[in-house]
Amino acid sequence: MAGLGLLGQDPSAMLFAIAQDAVPGVPVGFDMPAGSRKLFLTLSAGAPVTPVSQYWTLTVSAYSSTAGILDHADADRMWRALVRALLARRHETPLVDADLQAGPMTTHDTQSDVDYVYGAVMLTVAMK
């Protein structure tokens, strides 16, 4: 448990709020939201960058489908809206910076058997 003191501030509440503001009315969650139109987020802590900051990776999965068929344009718009909103606020505490790591790309969810738009943002987060 001693290693937990090395984790930076948890940016999840801020990221959740940014996502909700970027795509109003679309369910957002760190657990898979219900519905055929949604944003699923995952967040993982990485290595310290400096003694006062740490890398985190945010993945964004944008789902928009009808009868199992991806509405690529809509999913892409949702993904881009969230990433643009996040990058616009990349210097707000607890964020130190953010940059696009990968995406957007189309991939397949084997559990729900639908395609979705996916990508990742590298965050630099202030330590506690």
CA distance 70 to 78: 13
The pTM assigned to this predicted structure is 0.92
Q: What is the mean pLDDT of the chain?
A: 93
Query: Rounded CA gap, 60 and 50, in Å?
Result: 26
Tell me the C-alpha distance between 22 and 60, whole Å. Answer: 13
Q: What is the pLDDT of residue 3?
A: 46
9 falls in which pLDDT band (50, 70, 90)? confident
pLDDT in tens, 24-74: 999 999 999 999 999 999 999 999 988 999 999 999 999 999 988 999 999
CB atoms within 10 A of CB 95: 21
Domains by residue range for the chain, with CATH: 2-126 (3.30.70.1700)
